[in-house]
């Protein structure tokens, strides 16, 4: 089928099934890849129609589609939207901890009989050998991995249960895979491709600029000033919004203080019972909670179009999480504000959060267990006493240094030529230290964003490898007249070229900003260098 005919077919399906009269170019590019049975990695901002990229081709390709998604609330929203269409080629069912065994069996039968097209499932369910056998027998034609950044240890919302997805996709017959996320910097994209074992994927990264979001940053000399700036925003805009804070205690305290000041608020954090979090989630979506004060645990799966503002009461840990969190504002296309209120002390708090390193004894013991024989995660938790998240992080590190690999039936084992447990622990610790260095460099980039007098839109998108040649026009610096147009930013190396530093090793040129250049190095993370010094001292060479 020619590109023109394929595009026409896709547009016709979009119109007849969803009522959409147009498809964006980036949507079409990714859809065509799926139609050709190619893998795809799609990075588009919130509200840019990522779900359509797998839903429309799935309606045209024979065979069911498996959708892997991390949050039940997010799944429920997407299932409801599909089933509202009342079209058999769009019908969706789910298998999760919320469904009874009878309901789960019924979901499988609906797919098997052709009465449903989409099977929504969590990674935990796929890890069950019996469930895996059932899904494999369905012979899926496509796998869609939503919130794909969760698979990356570099991502802002890493989920250990995502780590085995590449192996699980192989086990169900290796259909084409489309990975979708709203936020993925270059190292996260590389990690997604590697961990999902994507084969020559079509990579679509587009439209990360959100012109309806006004980006504003204020350095706060005192806590009282930070409070007054927040209150000023709340008085000027009574529409719903989110206030992000760095700790659980801060969420509880600030929600109480705002409520006492006449701004009814609720708090949300990861330490609350799952049931209470679910109720708050639904109440916020239903406009019953005007102000949500939350840690970063709140937000994924928030499909609420009328969020009018997002405030950060401290410096976020990275541009990754910042971009994801501000992306929840203005999904209806209306003007929205995002305000960052920060102090220099926030950097120290972020350093504290990233100070921990894995225990070498625990790593060694885990490597020894894997070397003895393959085991399930449940068995590993019982033998080591490690919690699910820590175990996932340790397994990720050991996998990266060649001491662990996924096996059939949801087990984890050791490769044939794995290092000894002692050597594996040492290598894993060194890898953890490298990741910590990169993580801290991302906080440095977040501080640089906060301190810049240039265009904030350009600075933010450059971090994600997207170069803007004109100022954004929707940030405080553009309005203040301190942003300077990027006239092509001629530098010693092209943007996105691979370079090498004698001490820091290989890196990727991300952007130029007047007399500075930003390079992402594999070993030490993000560095901002003087273009003059790089040129005069020949610090970088093309790799």
Alpha carbon distance 92, 224 (integer Å): 50
Determine, yes or no, domain membership for 270: yes
Give the contacts of 41 (CB within 8 A, at least 6 positions apart).
Answer: 148, 178, 179, 184, 189, 192, 193, 198, 201, 202, 203, 204
In the numeric block, the tokens 């069912």 are attached to: 93
Domain carrying residue 403:
360-434
The string of pLDDT tens digits covering residues 314-350 is 999 889 889 989 989 998 889 999 999 999 888 777 7
* 450 domain residue, yes or no: no
Please, are residues 292 and 298 in contact by the beta-carbon 8 Å criterion?
yes
How many structural domains compose the chain?
4
SS (H, E, C) 23-63: CCHHHHHHHHHHHCCCCEEEECCCCCCHHHHHHHHHHHCCC
Instruction: Please report, rounded to a whole number, the percentage of residues in the chain having pLDDT higher than 70.
Output: 96
Query: For the domain that residue 509 is a member of, what is the CATH number?
Result: 2.30.30.390
How far is 48 from 54, CA to CA, in rounded Å? 13
Does residue 266 register a pLDDT over 90?
yes
Task: Kindly indicate the confidence band of residue 154, based on its pLDDT and cuts at 50, 70 and 90.
Answer: low
Among the candidates 148, 170, 205, a domain finishes at 205
Return the pLDDT at 138.
93
Same domain flag for 327 and 368: no
Hey, how many other C-beta atoms are within 10 angstroms of the C-beta on 254?
Answer: 20
Lowest model confidence (mean pLDDT) among 53-67, 149-163, 218-232, 508-522 = 149-163
Instruction: Please tell me whether residues 319 and 339 are part of one structural domain.
Output: yes
b/e 9-29 (16+ beta carbons within 10 angstroms → b): bbbebbeebbebeebeebbbb
pLDDT at 291: 96
Residue 489 pLDDT exceeds 60:
no
Encode pLDDT of 398-439 as tens digits.
Answer: 988 999 988 877 788 888 888 999 999 999 999 888 888 888
Q: What is the CA radius of gyration of the chain?
A: 24
In contact, 110 and 120? CB cutoff 8 Å: no
Q: Pick the last residue of a domain from 307, 322, 353.
A: 353
- For residues 309 and 399, which has the higher predicted lDDT (pLDDT)? 309
Phi/psi region, residue 496 (left: phi>0; alpha: psi -120 to 50; beta: rest), is left
β-bridge pairing 498-501 and 541-542:
antiparallel
The domain that holds 385 is classified in CATH as: 1.10.10
Q: Which residues contact 155 (CB under 8 A, 6 or more apart)?
A: 149, 183, 184, 188, 191, 320
- The pLDDT value recorded for residue 3 is 64
Same domain? 199 vs 244 = no
The residue among 315, 330, 353 that closes a domain is 353
Whether 313 has a pLDDT exceeding 60, the answer reads yes
The reply to whether 459 falls in a domain is no
Poorest-confidence range of 114-123, 260-269, 457-466, 475-484? 457-466
The structure tokens listed for 161 are 């249960």
Q: What is the DSSP string of 505-535?
A: EEEEEEEEETTEEEEEETTTEEEEEEHHHHH
Whether 492 and 375 map to the same domain: the answer is: no
Q: Is there a single domain that holds both residue 153 and residue 262?
A: no
343 three-state secondary structure:
coil
Identify the CATH number of the domain in which residue 89 sits: 3.40.50.300
């Amino acid at each position: 089928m020619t590109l023109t005919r394929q595009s026409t077919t896709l547009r016709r399906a979009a119109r007849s099934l969803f009522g959409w009269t147009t498809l964006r170019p980036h949507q079409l590019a990714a859809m065509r890849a799926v139609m050709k049975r190619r893998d795809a990695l799609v990075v588009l901002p919130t509200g840019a129609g990522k779900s359509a990229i797998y839903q429309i081709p799935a309606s045209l390709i024979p065979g069911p589609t498996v959708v892997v998604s991390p949050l039940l609330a997010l799944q429920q929203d997407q299932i409801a939207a599909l089933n509202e269409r009342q079209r058999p080629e769009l019908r969706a069912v789910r298998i999760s901890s919320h469904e009874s065994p009878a309901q789960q069996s019924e979901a499988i039968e609906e797919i098997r009989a052709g009465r449903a097209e989409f099977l929504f499932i969590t990674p935990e369910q796929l890890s069950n050998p019996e469930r895996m056998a059932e899904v494999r027998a369905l012979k899926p034609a496509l796998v869609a991995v939503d919130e794909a950044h969760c698979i990356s240890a570099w991502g802002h919302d890493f989920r250990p249960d995502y780590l085995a997805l590449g192996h699980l996709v192989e086990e169900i017959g290796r259909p084409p895979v489309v990975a979708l996320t709203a936020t993925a910097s270059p190292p996260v994209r590389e990690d997604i491709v590697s961990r999902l074992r994507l084969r020559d994927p079509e990579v679509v990264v587009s439209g990360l600029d959100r012109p309806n979001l006004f980006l504003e940053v204020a350095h706060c000399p005192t806590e009282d000033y930070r409070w007054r700036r927040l209150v000023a925003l709340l008085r000027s805009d009574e529409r719903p919004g989110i206030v992000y804070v760095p700790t659980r205690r801060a969420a509880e305290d600030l929600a109480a203080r705002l409520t006492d000041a006449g701004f009814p608020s609720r708090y949300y954090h990861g330490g609350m019972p799952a049931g209470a979090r679910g109720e708050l989630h639904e109440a916020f979506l239903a406009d019953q909670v005007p102000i949500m004060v939350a840690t970063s645990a709140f937000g994924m799966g928030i499909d609420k179009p009328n969020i009018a503002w997002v405030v950060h009461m401290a410096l976020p840990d990275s541009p990754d999480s910042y971009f994801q969190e501000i992306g929840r504002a203005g999904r209806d296309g209306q003007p929205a504000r995002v305000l960052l209120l920060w102090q220099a002390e926030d950097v120290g708090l972020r350093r504290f959060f990233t100070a921990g390193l894995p225990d070498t004894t625990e790593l060694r013991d885990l490597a020894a267990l894997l070397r003895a024989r393959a085991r399930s995660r449940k068995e590993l938790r019982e033998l080591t006493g490690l919690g699910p998240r820590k175990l996932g992080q340790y397994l990720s590190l050991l996998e990266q240094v060649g001491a662990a690999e996924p096996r059939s039936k949801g087990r984890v084992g050791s490769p044939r030529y794995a290092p000894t447990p002692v050597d594996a622990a040492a290598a894993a610790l060194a890898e953890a230290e490298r990741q910590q260095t990169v993580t801290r460099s991302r906080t440095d980039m977040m501080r640089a964003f906060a301190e810049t007098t240039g265009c904030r839109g350009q600075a933010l998108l450059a971090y994600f490898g997207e170069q803007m040649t004109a100022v954004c026009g929707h940030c405080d610096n553009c309005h203040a007249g301190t942003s300077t147009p990027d006239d092509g930013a001629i530098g010693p190396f092209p943007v996105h070229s691979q370079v090498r530093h004698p001490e820091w090793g290989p890196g990727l040129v991300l952007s130029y900003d007047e007399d500075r250049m930003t390079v992402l190095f594999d070993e030490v993370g993000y560095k901002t260098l003087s273009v003059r010094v790089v040129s005069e001292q020949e610090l970088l060479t093309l790799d």
